[in-house]
Amino acid sequence: MKRVVVDPVNRIEGHLRLEVTVDETNGKVQDALSSGTAWRGIELILKGRDPRDAWVFAQRICGVCTTVHALGCLRAVEDALGIEIPKNANYIRNIIAATQMVHDHIVHFYHLHALDWVSPVAALKADPAATAALQNTVLEKYHMDLKGPVEFDSNAYPKEFPKATAAYFKAIQEKIGKIVDSGQLGIFSAQWWDHPDYNLLPPEVHLMAVSHYLNMLDKQREIVVSHVVFGGKNPHPHYVVGGMPCSISMNDMNAPINTERLAAVDTSINMAITLASYFYVPDILAIGELYVKQGYVDGGGLAKERVLGFGDYPEESYSGTSNGDFHKHLLLRSDGIVENFAQGAEKAIFYPFEAKDLTDPEVLTEGVEHSWYGYPEKDVDLHPWSGVTKPEYTTPKEGTKTDWKYLDENGKYSWIKTPKWKGKMAEVGPLSRYIIVYTKVKQGIIQEPTWVEKMMVDQVDAVSKLLNVAPEKWLLSTVGRTAVRGLEAQLMAYISKYYFDKLVNNIKAGDTSVANMEKWEPSTWPKEAKGVGLHEAPRGGLSHWVVIKDGKIANYQAVVPSTWNACPRDSKSGYGPYEATMMDTKVKIADKPLEILKAIHSFDPCLACATHLYDTSGRQLAVVHSDPYVKI
Amino acid sequence: MDNMESLWDLFQKKNVSRRNFLKTCVTITGILGLSPSLISDVVSAAERQPLVPVIWLHGHECTGCDEAFIRSQTPLASDVLLNMISMEYMDVLAAAAGEPLEQHLQEIMGKYNGKYLLAVEGAVPLNDDGIYCMVGGKTFVHNLKEVAKGAAAIIEVGSCAAWGGIQAAKPNPTKSVSVSDVISGKTIIKVPGCPPIPEVITGVIMHYTLFGQLPPLDSKGRPKQFFGNRIHDTCYRRPFFDSGMFVEKFDDVGSKAGWCLYKVGCRGPEAYNSCGNMRWWNGLSYPIQSGAPCVACASNNFWDNDNFYERMPNIPVPNTIANADKVGIVAAGALTAGVIIHGALSTIQHKRHHQENDEPENDKK
């Protein structure tokens, strides 16, 4: 038995530590621990601030899934204050969110995950001509011809297309060769390039994928042009409570949004569709099929037992979230919980997730049994609106307070809390969204699927046919979790286009409004209000919770996707998704746990999001910002 | 980078001819027992200057600055990473994790002692001995001090590293501070912004690799070429400020017409940054162009300059060009008067614009 520590976990956002105990005789992981090793206290910083400013602060929870916390926050504040945003603002926010999803997924796969699967060193052994031939085969065999509705098709032909010439692959190979020869490997340094898993793919796949790593590094920035046009920058584009600040006018030369601006967004959406359809999906299916055919379908973990989603992409503006109106307008109805998908979509058990579940103190809760926080009553979990977080740091099992050897799996070991649905843990993310929608459609719970839901089912069925494996067999694995993210990028690129078309049609109908300012002034707000904002972020279901009193934030809480997934264990509910997945993964060489990295990276960890601090004891901050320019 | 000269550099310094240099390369090829066909490779290796090694550390941050770094168009991040620097340690992009990565860090620190650039993203939490940010089982403040010792220079990437950032906003629960608050005796360049403009981050790195030295800095340690002017001085909406034409509330007629955002809280007059001239995505837009008031995300302590939508009470008079060192000297009383006049003018302009504009749907809510 060997205890192996991986810290820092690389290619993620934030600070994550893993400890696994491996039985070296059979490669089985006997125990696994996931620890968020930093917290910043943003929710505490939010207390006492103006709710109209809150999105700027909340947005800085994360710069990788930039913008998703701004959206969650705006939705929570607007829910609390009863603000319905204009149609155009809803469309624009959906475009920003969907393009964020495409961008985040592409950067995740190529730049944060690919190097677990492919190796630049292995690429040196490839034959460039054979790689060109392989690229052609990949495009023919794995290009999935599924599309969303496109009303105004401005794209004459795919502008970005994988190059399939020997000379091109030779040039890339020569560059890699020079880097390796120079001894300055830079970002490629020190990896276990001799790990046997890199032999699962032929050298030509390595060369093709490493080339695409570089292509996508150069292209990804163009996917988020919509953020720069509508929000002025990326990361961290700008919004306003009540809608968007980017006014639309076709009568003013200096308007934030006019035809030329829309054209820039349209061109970038066209490119996002192309990148997802011709690079991402074919690459991921080519690699995925090679893995599945060689029997690598482990790493399903908790997804086999339970997944959770909130649903998103409201077709039209809605009057609120806690009143149930948000859930009546969804284009992507991944709201609900699915248990037992391992037995197949027909035998899986579906539970709805409704607005009343948001406000019921028994449904969504967080526990701190193994988190570095203390609760007033031991073993009593708390709802986000009434939760308490008091830091309670403890020393590790071996080592000192400031120099750890091993963390204490029997005590507290993470800055991440343990969120639960009805006392149970659940996995969230792209895989969860696909499982929920697939189950709901196959079981007839969704009678009339939207085009988005139909496309999701078609994608899953097409991949199952290609692999000749049932959905529950390939989906519930590290490969499945990774592949679904690619399918979702393709879907989200079309969702961007769908809302772009709706935006154009609405402007055409004469509506240029982007902000509802009726309740801008604090004098129009209730004395006390509570709100919740939901979003299906790239890494899964996100919820922001706000309590507003006397025009200021009295309490703020975010239960984010990586909190659900990276949380520590719980004596009543078992292991969280990361830990369960590690224990469902075989490790060939204990000292080089590449399989563990690959499995954890398949969740796309985002740790600054997951770890947080807030305080709901009702304590007021000493400073009231009535005049921010008078410094005491 | 004196100790990192290539063989060809040394020959040039000693006035030894190119012919002699090539002869030496042929000899080296022989000594190494390589095939004569590899002579050209040896020549190019001898000519090649090692890339500047860079170590990039993460403290209390959101990784938005890494994301900004890879968004750079000129130069492209791929060109920076593969041809301008050697990013030897950056956990966000590194292939390796855990022990091998930490081991590699130690090797690089030894091999390039005194020669590597250290980029730091994120603030340094000091409360409770630094336990609120642990990396590799040790506190971030400990790791930072270790790595800083051998750095040729340090770049504070983003407002968190440069000023403490969001986690240092009131009440600063983790007692987060900037890098320069805990490191002294080193050249430290501040590249603030939340995040900085992508081309500002890569511009600083490229300046170092192109010219072999750090860019000229202002009194606060910021590169003058990127932080020499206020956004207000370079803003394309500045003429509207000077003419007293203001957005009064979001999505009003002035908002559609792209007038000045000063009255809805724009911090452009106190924000030293390149948004006005360079803009984001090589000129595509910046918050003000997209209708959003600037929050001065590159300024010290901007988080506690809320409310963000409250108009700045003090502002330098129009048509002045002030630099970071002079701003604030201007008397506040005179300015306030100027602003009041501006407010009055703006109301008149609003009415005039409304009458001239006969497109009613423009003003519809």
Token pair, residue A367, equals 């526990």
Burial tier of A159 (Cβ tally within 10 Å: 0-12, 13-18, 19+): exposed
Active site residue A609: yes
Residue by residue, what is the 3-state secondary structure of A453-468?
A: HHHHHHHHHHHHHHHC
Of the pLDDT bands very low, low, confident and very high (cuts 50, 70, 90), residue A327 is: very high
Of the pLDDT bands very low, low, confident and very high (cuts 50, 70, 90), residue A44 is: confident
Considering B227, B261, B293, which residue would you say is the last residue of a domain? B227
The C-alpha of A342 sits at a distance from chain B's nearest C-alpha, in angstroms, of 32
- What element of type H or E holds A441? helix A430-442
Instruction: Give the count of beta carbons closer than 10 Å to the beta carbon of residue B319.
Output: 9
What lies within 8 Å, CB to CB, of B35 at 6+ separation is: none
Write out the residue range of the structural domain in which residue B198 sits. Answer: 52-227
Measuring CA to CA, how many Å separate A8 from each of A141, A513, B140? 38, 47, 11
The count of domains in chain A is 1
The answer for A 520-579 residues in CB contact with B (under 8 A) is 520
Residues B62 and B185 in one domain: yes
The pLDDT of residue A79? 98
Q: Which of B66, B58, B56 is nearest to B135 (CA)?
A: B58
The pLDDT of residue A351? 98
Chain B residues lying within 8 Å of A192, measured CB to CB: 96, 100
Q: Chain B contact for A405, CB < 8 A? A: yes
Please tell me the least confidently modeled range out of A250-254, A454-458, A554-558: A554-558
Strand order in the sheet with A403-406: A398-400, A403-406, B138-139, B134-135
A630: left (phi over 0), alpha (psi -120 to 50) or beta: beta
Residues B65 and B185 in one domain: yes
Considering B173, B198, B227, which residue would you say is the last residue of a domain? B227
Residues B93 and B105 in one domain: yes
Q: Chain A contact for B361, CB < 8 A? A: yes
Q: Chain B contact for A607, CB < 8 A? A: no
CA distance B229 to B251: 29
Residue A532 pairs in a beta bridge with A545
Active site residue A246: no
Token pair, residue B56, equals 């990039």
The pLDDT of residue A344? 98
Is residue A336 in a domain? yes
CB atoms B250 and A240 under 8 Å: yes
Residue B52 pairs in a beta bridge with B85
Q: Has residue A610 got a pLDDT over 80?
A: no
Residues B81 and B165 in one domain: yes
Looking at residues A176-185, what average pLDDT do you find?
A: 93
Is residue A509 in a domain? yes
Mutation choice for B interface testing from A7, A37, A40, A197 by most B CBs within 10 A: A40
CA distance B344 to B342: 5
The pLDDT of residue B19? 73
Measuring CA to CA, how many Å separate B209 from each of A452, B55, B158? 48, 15, 20
Is residue A541 in a domain? yes
Q: What are phi and psi of B260, to 5 degrees?
A: -65, 140
CB atoms B88 and A403 under 8 Å: no
Q: What are phi and psi of A15, to 5 degrees?
A: -125, 115
Residues B346 and B207 in one domain: no
The pLDDT of residue A386? 80
Is residue A392 in a domain? no
CA distance A401 to A386: 30
Please tell me the least confidently modeled range out of A98-112, A318-332, A608-622, B248-262: A608-622
DSSP strand pairing (B151-157 vs B138-139): unpaired
ipTM value for the complex: 0.94
Q: Chain B contact for A67, CB < 8 A? A: no
DSSP strand pairing (A552-559 vs A540-549): antiparallel
Local structure of residue B194 (DSSP, 8 states): S
The one catalytic residue in A73, A246, A567, A609 is A609
Write out the residue range of the structural domain in which residue A565 sits. Answer: 2-248+262-363+422-610
Residues B24 and B68 in one domain: no
The answer for B 70-99 residues in CB contact with A (under 8 A) is 70-73, 76-78, 81-82, 85-88, 90-99
CB B254 within 8 A of CB B246: yes
Token pair, residue A60, equals 């800085």
The pLDDT of residue A117? 98
Look up the CATH number of the domain holding residue B302.
Answer: 4.10.480.10
Residues B317 and B350 in one domain: yes
CA distance A30 to A586: 10
DSSP letters spanning A227-294: HHHHHSSSSS---BTTB-S--B-SS-TT-SB-HHHHHHHHHHHHHHHHIIIIIIHHHHHHHHHHHHHT
Active site residue A329: no
The pLDDT of residue B353? 54
CB atoms A56 and B99 under 8 Å: no
Looking at residues A208-219, what average pLDDT do you find?
A: 98
Token pair, residue A303, equals 């997804």
What lies within 8 Å, CB to CB, of B108 at 6+ separation is: B53, B55, B88, B89, B116
Active site residue A606: yes
Give the nearest chain B residue to A120 (CA atoms). B95
Looking at residues A481-500, what average pLDDT do you find?
A: 98
Looking at residues A11-28, what average pLDDT do you find?
A: 95
The C-alpha of A332 sits at a distance from chain B's nearest C-alpha, in angstroms, of 28
Mutation choice for B interface testing from A4, A5, A60 by most B CBs within 10 A: A60
| Percent with pLDDT over 70 in chain A | 96
The one catalytic residue in A13, A19, A78, A427 is A13
Q: Chain B contact for A246, CB < 8 A? A: yes
Active site residue A317: no
The pLDDT of residue B271? 96
Q: What are phi and psi of A554, to 5 degrees?
A: -95, -30
- Nearest CB to B129; choose among A56, A399, A401: A401
Is residue A402 in a domain? no
Q: Chain A contact for B357, CB < 8 A? A: yes
A586: left (phi over 0), alpha (psi -120 to 50) or beta: beta
Q: Average pLDDT per run of 10 along chain B, which is 365 residues long?
A: 54 68 64 61 62 97 97 97 96 96 97 97 97 97 98 98 97 96 97 98 95 94 97 96 96 98 96 97 98 98 94 60 39 40 50 47 36
The one catalytic residue in A11, A17, A69, A535 is A69
The one catalytic residue in A268, A371, A562, A602 is A562
Residue whose pair of structure tokens reads 């030293």 in the numeric block: B272
Is residue A456 in a domain? yes
Q: Say how many CB pairs under 8 Å bridge A and B.
A: 345
Specify the 3-state DSSP secondary structure of A313: strand
The pLDDT of residue A618? 31
Residues B6 and B74 in one domain: no
Considering B211, B227, B243, which residue would you say is the last residue of a domain? B227
Chain A residues lying within 8 Å of B255, measured CB to CB: 245, 247, 256
CB B264 within 8 A of CB B247: yes
| Amino acid of residue A426 | A
CB atoms A60 and B95 under 8 Å: no
CA atoms within 13 A on the CB side of A418: 32
The count of domains in chain B is 3
CB atoms B256 and A38 under 8 Å: no
Residues B279 and B188 in one domain: no
Of the pLDDT bands very low, low, confident and very high (cuts 50, 70, 90), residue A143 is: very high
Residues B346 and B281 in one domain: yes
Torsion sign (Cα): B285, B286, B290, B291: negative
Q: Chain A contact for B51, CB < 8 A? A: yes
Residues B217 and B158 in one domain: yes
CB B43 within 8 A of CB B3: no
The pLDDT of residue A374? 86
Local structure of residue A386 (DSSP, 8 states): G
Residue whose pair of structure tokens reads 């969001």 in the numeric block: B166
Q: Chain A contact for B196, CB < 8 A? A: no
Q: Chain A contact for B341, CB < 8 A? A: no
Is residue A383 in a domain? no
Alpha helices, H only, chain B: 7-13, 18-31, 39-47, 64-70, 77-79, 98-111, 127-130, 140-149, 158-163, 198-211, 224-227, 231-234, 238-242, 253-257, 332-356
Q: Chain B contact for A513, CB < 8 A? A: yes
The answer for B 217-256 residues in CB contact with A (under 8 A) is 237, 249-251, 255-256
Which segments within A310-375 are labelled E, that is strand?
Answer: 312-314, 330-332, 336-339, 349-351, 364-367, 373-374
The pLDDT of residue A486? 98
Look up the CATH number of the domain holding residue B143.
Answer: 3.40.50.700
CA distance B86 to B119: 12
CA distance A532 to A316: 18
Residues B62 and B155 in one domain: yes
Instruction: Give the count of beta carbons closer than 10 Å to the beta carbon of residue A232.
Output: 27
The C-alpha of A180 sits at a distance from chain B's nearest C-alpha, in angstroms, of 11
What lies within 8 Å, CB to CB, of A482 at 6+ separation is: A109, A113, A284, A288, A602
Q: Has residue A623 got a pLDDT over 70?
A: no
Chain B residues lying within 8 Å of A224, measured CB to CB: 71
Residue B118 pairs in a beta bridge with B55, B154
Look up the CATH number of the domain holding residue A323.
Answer: 1.10.645.10
Q: Chain B contact for A264, CB < 8 A? A: yes
The pLDDT of residue A631? 30
CB atoms A402 and B68 under 8 Å: no
CA distance B41 to B29: 9
Token pair, residue A204, equals 């030509």
Is residue A210 in a domain? yes
pTM: predicted TM-score of the whole model, two decimal places: 0.90
CA distance B43 to B45: 5
CB atoms B131 and A12 under 8 Å: no
Q: Which of A495, A539, A12, A604 is nearest to A276 (CA)?
A: A495
